[in-house]
């Protein structure tokens, strides 16, 4: 078999949709698993949709996710340029082939005529598509008019028969030709449309497998007809299942974050997002959920990609991220955590204290975006009590504990951890309260919560004055 060559062919729009990340990832996994090549091609021929910085942003998102390309704008390669906007000459040459062979024709219809045509079709409940008005202009006349009349170039789609797509995921899908539009291949501005540039480039770049989202399936028969018109062998197609919201509607911006950048800024780790996205439409056939990129490469096959839409479950992503936060080595965790603390302007006064805070909350956070909430107890001036903690601090017995602590605490200039345990022994002896009743009361008074970070860590960060202040406050409840 000839070499596997796949491509990720985004039209940069300024942000990277998680669906795009999945397409890129599956192409990457397929290529690496098959020991083939993955190409990055920038589909930027829609001048009206140009967004400043969009390509840089895209490249950055790919880097962040750890996806590398064998050919593309950054790495170069033998099949460039990899920006479609730099390939206009190539499209020009190819469109003349189709004009010569009669598979394409110029269309001079004005926007007004087309609008009117569409309105009439809509009123008559007919499919909205080009009515073939310019199809039969004699070739010579057409060529002459092309010289000075604005025009587009359309594909002459056969009006009968069917076009079959044998999709590696969806199986055999057939489309009736009479429902396929005489699609525009070259626009009035001389730029190619997506369909035309995409097919020409996939052929010239020797793409063996086109792996892309299901929303492109309806376009595929048009592509197949173009391959036929050129006399080329089409690549194999694999259309990936749609991504859905929890209510099974198509994943949309309206229902939550859809951009890779959104997850980045929520403090999701790239390993977690990649792992999560890999499972949106694929599984290994067992119940393993955690995969490194290497393991994914090893296990990935198109045979195990589902047809059914995949629900994007944000809670699962956060849960997975929590797993990654707890499984990276401590030094990496602390380094990342300190960066995030700085971003949120959370500073307990020394790197050591900040690290202690990070260690203390590690069992409890799922994303770094939760840092402000999860570290609040270390930074507040007045404690906020959770309901259960309030119950504990208002017990008569607890008040006795706090009073004794306050009477003792100034014996210890620093209140080190050793001091603290010595002090608590005294408190236990003089009040006769011990075990849960003692510790829940103290924990509630110092943290406002009955569960949470280890007390010694909290104490070491808060320091003696804060502890005194919180005990006072607890007494006043």
Question: Tokens for 394?
Answer: 């208002």
At 163, give phi and psi (nearest 5°): -115, 130
CB 42, CB 10: distance < 8 Å: yes
Query: Which residues have CB under 8 Å from 264's CB, separation 6+?
Result: 61, 64
Minimum distance, C-beta of residue 192 to ligand GLU, in the bound complex (Å): 12
Minimum distance, C-beta of residue 198 to ligand GLU, in the bound complex (Å): 5
58 vs 467, which CB is nearer to ligand GLU?
Answer: 58
11 vs 177, which CB is nearer to ligand GLU?
Answer: 11
Kindly tell me the number of DSSP H helices and DSSP E strands found in the chain: 20, 11
Residues in the site for ligand GLU, rule: CB under 6 A?
9-11, 43, 194, 198, 212, 216
7 vs 103, which CB is nearer to ligand GLU?
Answer: 7
* Strand positions, DSSP E, 150-254: 152-155, 162-167, 171-176, 184-186, 209-213, 236-240, 243-244
Query: Which residues have CB under 8 Å from 80's CB, separation 6+?
Result: 71
Q: How many CB atoms lie within 10 A of CB 386?
A: 16
198 vs 404, which CB is nearer to ligand GLU?
Answer: 198
- Of 92, 139, 253, 434, catalytic: 253
Minimum distance, C-beta of residue 43 to ligand GLU, in the bound complex (Å): 4
Q: How many CB atoms lie within 10 A of CB 128?
A: 11
Minimum distance, C-beta of residue 216 to ligand GLU, in the bound complex (Å): 5
**Residue 47: helix, strand or coil by DSSP?**
helix
CB 370, CB 271: distance < 8 Å: no
27 vs 321, which CB is nearer to ligand GLU?
Answer: 27
Minimum distance, C-beta of residue 11 to ligand GLU, in the bound complex (Å): 4
Minimum distance, C-beta of residue 222 to ligand GLU, in the bound complex (Å): 11
226 vs 346, which CB is nearer to ligand GLU?
Answer: 226
26 vs 368, which CB is nearer to ligand GLU?
Answer: 26
Cis peptide before 81 (omega within 30 of 0): yes
- Measured CA to CA, the distance from residue 2 to residue 29 in angstroms comes to 18
Give ∠ CA 380-382-388 in degrees, rounded to 5.
100
Question: Tokens for 348?
Answer: 């307990």
Minimum distance, C-beta of residue 128 to ligand GLU, in the bound complex (Å): 22
Question: Tokens for 402?
Answer: 């706090």
175 vs 333, which CB is nearer to ligand GLU?
Answer: 175
Minimum distance, C-beta of residue 277 to ligand GLU, in the bound complex (Å): 16
- Measured CA to CA, the distance from residue 253 to residue 263 in angstroms comes to 13
What are the DSSP calls for 100-151, one per residue?
HHTSEEEE---HHHHHHHHHHHHHTT-------TTTTS-HHHHHHHHHHS--
Residue in 371, 78, 360 with CA at minimum distance from that of residue 204: 78
Is 429 designated active site?
no
- Return the active site residues: 253
């Amino acid at each position: 078999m000839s070499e596997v060559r796949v491509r990720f062919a985004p039209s940069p729009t300024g942000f990277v949709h998680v669906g795009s990340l999945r397409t890129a990832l599956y192409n990457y996994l397929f290529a690496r698993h098959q020991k083939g090549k993955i190409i990055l091609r920038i589909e930027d021929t829609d001048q009206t949709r140009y967004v400043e910085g969009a390509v840089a942003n895209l490249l950055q998102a790919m880097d962040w996710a750890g996806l590398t390309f064998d050919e593309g704008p950054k790495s170069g390669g033998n099949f460039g340029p990899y920006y479609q906007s730099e390939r206009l000459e190539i499209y020009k040459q190819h469109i003349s082939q189709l004009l010569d062979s009669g598979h394409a024709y110029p269309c001079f219809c004005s926007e007004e005529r087309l609008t009117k045509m569409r309105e009439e079709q809509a009123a008559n409940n007919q499919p909205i598509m080009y009515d073939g008005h310019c199809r039969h202009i004699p070739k010579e006349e057409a060529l002459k008019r092309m010289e000075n009349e604005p025009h587009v170039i359309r594909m002459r789609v056969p009006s009968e028969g069917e076009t079959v797509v044998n999709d590696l995921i969806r199986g055999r899908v057939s489309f009736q030709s009479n429902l396929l539009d005489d699609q525009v291949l070259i626009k009035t501005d001389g730029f190619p449309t997506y369909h035309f540039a995409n097919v020409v480039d996939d052929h010239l770049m020797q793409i063996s497998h086109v792996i892309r989202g299901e929303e492109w399936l309806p376009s595929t028969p048009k592509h197949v007809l173009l391959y036929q018109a050129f006399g080329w062998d089409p690549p194999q197609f694999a259309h990936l299942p749609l991504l859905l919201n929890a209510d099974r509607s198509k994943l949309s911006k309206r229902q939550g974050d859809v951009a890779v950048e959104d997850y980045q800024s929520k403090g999701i780790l790239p390993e977690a997002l990649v792992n999560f996205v890999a499972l949106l439409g694929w599984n290994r056939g067992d119940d393993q959920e955690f995969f490194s990129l290497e393991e994914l490469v090893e296990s990935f096959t198109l045979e195990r990609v589902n047809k059914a839409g995949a629900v994007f479950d944000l809670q699962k992503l956060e849960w997975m991220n929590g797993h990654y936060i707890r499984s990276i080595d401590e030094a990496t965790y602390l380094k990342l955590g300190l960066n995030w603390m700085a971003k949120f302007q959370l500073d307990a006064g020394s790197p050591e204290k900040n690290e202690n805070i990070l260690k203390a909350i590690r069992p409890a956070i799922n994303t770094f975006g939760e840092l402000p909430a999860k570290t609040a107890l270390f930074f507040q001036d007045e404690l906020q009590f959770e309901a259960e903690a309030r119950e504990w601090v208002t017990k008569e017995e607890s008040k006795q504990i706090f009073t004794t602590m306050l009477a003792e605490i100034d014996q210890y200039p620093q209140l080190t951890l050793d001091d603290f345990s010595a002090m608590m022994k005294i408190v236990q002896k003089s009040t006769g309260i011990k075990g849960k009743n003692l510790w829940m009361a103290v924990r509630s008074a110092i943290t406002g919560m009955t569960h949470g970070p280890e007390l010694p860590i909290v104490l070491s960060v808060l320091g003696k004055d804060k502890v005194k202040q919180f005990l006072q406050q607890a007494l006043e409840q």
